[in-house]
Structure 1
C-alpha cells in the first residue's frame, strides 16, 4: 500500500536506507539533500519503505504545488528492485490532490507512458575502464584542448572551502543572474558539511579562476556546479577538472553524470568526452477542479 507522509512523519533512517539501496539511487533523493534544496518536502511510501517517492513542494497564494528544486535533475520512484510501469503509475495516482500543480522529473530508470509526459536528455560516462580507454572516447577537439592545458602545469586543489567557492561563484562574470532562491540553495548545499559534497578548484596567483562542486555517492558521481572565468575557459581548465575526476575514479563501478544538458553548447561539451545519452521523463499535471 502506498501512503503519504509529511517530512516530520518519516522514519528518516528507513527512508535514506531505501534511497541508498535503490538500483536507481540518486543523490538528489536523500533527506539531507532535499532538506538543503527544497522549500518543503514530503514523500509517498510503499509499505514499510520498500519504495519511496519524494515530493518537494512549495506554496504560493495559498496554492500548494510540487516542483523540481534547483539542482535536482532526477527524482521519482526509488526501489531496491526494478520499478515497473504499473508501480510508477500507482505512485503518480497516489499524489495528494491538495497539490494543485505537479511537475516531477523522474529518474531515467522510471519507464512509463503518461499523457502529460515529455522527455529530456542527460549524458553519462561509465568509469569502469582504465583512463587510457576512456580517453580514446574523447573527440579530437577535447584531446587537443587537454594536451594544451596539461602544458600549463595547473594544479587542481581538492580542498576548496565552501566560503571561497561561493565568493568566487557569485562574483565571476556569467551570462545569467541567479535568483535569491538559487543562491540560498547553493549556500545550503555548500554549508551542509556532508562528505559527499566535494569542492575542487584551480588557482592563478593564489586566486580561484575555475571551480567545481561535484557529488559522490555509491555508484554515481554528479557534475553539479562548474564555474570558470573567461580566461580559465580559454585555457581549457574545465576540461582539466573533468579529466582529473575521471583519472581519480577510473576502473571503478561508477558513472559520471554530467546533469544534462538541453542547451546545445553545453551538450556538445559533454558529448566530447565520449558520453552515453540517457533519457528521463518529466510529468506535468494540474488538479484545479
Structure 2
C-alpha cells in the first residue's frame, strides 16, 4: 500500500533509514537536506517505509505545484530492494490530483516512464591512480591543468560566503543564496562534504562545495573569478580532487552535462555519461 504523508507526520527515523539503505541512495533525499532546500515536501511511502518517493512542492491558490528543488539533481523512488517499473508507475499514479503540476527528476537507477525526458550527468569512478587518469584527460584539459600548475595555484579550505561573493560578482544567473548558505552549513555540520578554494598568493580565485555520501563525491556548486578562469582554476581544482581520491573506488559526480559545453568539459576528464529521467505531469 502506497500512501502520501505530509512532512509533519513522517517518521523521520524510518524515512532516513530507507534513504540511507536504499539501492539508489542520494544525499538530496535525506530529511535534513530536503528541509533545507525545499519550503514544503511530502513523501509517498510504500508499506512501512520499504520504498519512498519524496515530493517537493509549493502552494498556488488551492493547488500544489511539485518542483525539483535547487541543488538537488536527482530524487525519485528510493527502495531497500529492487523495484519494478510497474511499482514506480504505481508510485506516480498515487500523486493526488491537488498536485496540479508535478516535476520530479528521478535518480539514475529509476526507470524511464511515460511523460519523462532524458537528462545527462557525468561521473568518474576513481578506481585507479592519478597518472592513469591523466593519460585519459583530453589534450586541452592537460594544458589547462598545466597552466594552473605553472601559476603556482594551490587549494585549501574556504567559506561559502566567499564563494557566493565571487558568484554574485561574476555570474548573471541568480540562485537562492540563503538556501545555498544554509545548505553548505548543514552539509559541513553533518560531515557530509567539504568546501575547497583555489588560491594564488593568498588570493582566492574561486572554489567549490562538494557533498560526500555513499561513496559518491558530488560537485555541487562552484564559482570562479575572471582571473581564476584565465588561470584555469576549475580544471586545477578538479584535478586536485581526482589526485586526492585516486585509488579509492569513490565516484566523482560532476552533477551536470545537459549543456553541450559543460558536457564537453566533463568528458575531457574522462568522465562517462549517466542518464537520468525527468517526469512532468500537468492536470488540465
Do they superpose with TM above 0.5? yes
Q: Does 1:173 align with 2:170?
A: yes
Q: Deviations over 1:65-112 (max 9, x none)?
A: 110011111100011222321111111111122211111110111013
Question: In the aligned structure 2, how far is the partner of 1:249 from the partner of 1:52?
Answer: 32
Most deviating of 144-153 and 67-76: 144-153
The counterpart of 1:254, out of the listed 244, 250, 273, is 250
Within-5 A mapping of 1:268-283:
268-283=264-279
Q: Deviations over 1:115-168 (max 9, x none)?
A: x111111111111222222222211111111122212222201x2233333333
Q: CA deviation at 1:30?
A: 0.9
Question: What is residue 58 of structure 1 aligned with on the other side?
Answer: 58
Question: In the aligned structure 2, how far is the partner of 1:140 from the partner of 1:128?
Answer: 22
Question: In the aligned structure 2, how far is the partner of 1:285 from the partner of 1:163?
Answer: 37
Asked if the contact 1:89/1:112 (under 8 Å) is kept, the reply is no
| Compared CA separation, residues 45 and 287, structure 1 to 2 (3 A) | same
Q: Deviations over 1:5-63 (max 9, x none)?
A: 11111111111111111121111111111111111111111111111111101112332
Question: In the aligned structure 2, how far is the partner of 1:10 from the partner of 1:54?
Answer: 11
Q: CA deviation at 1:205?
A: 4.6
Question: What is residue 72 of structure 1 aligned with on the other side?
Answer: 72
What SS class does the counterpart of residue 122 from structure 1 fall into? Answer: strand
Q: Does 1:190 align with 2:190?
A: no
Question: What is residue 206 of structure 2 aligned with on the other side?
Answer: 210
Q: Does 1:237 align with 2:236?
A: no
Q: CA deviation at 1:64?
A: 0.8
RMSD: 1.5
Question: In the aligned structure 2, how far is the partner of 1:21 from the partner of 1:128?
Answer: 23
Unaligned runs of 5+ in 2: none
Asked if the contact 2:155/2:196 (under 8 Å) is kept, the reply is yes
Unaligned runs of 5+ in 1: none
Question: In the aligned structure 2, how far is the partner of 1:128 from the partner of 1:204?
Answer: 30
TM-score by length of 1: 0.92
Asked if the contact 1:223/1:258 (under 8 Å) is kept, the reply is yes
The counterpart of 1:161, out of the listed 156, 159, 162, is 159
Within-5 A mapping of 1:11-22:
11-22=11-22
What SS class does the counterpart of residue 140 from structure 2 fall into? Answer: helix
Deviating above 6 A after TM superposition, structure 1's stretches of 4 or more consecutive aligned residues are none
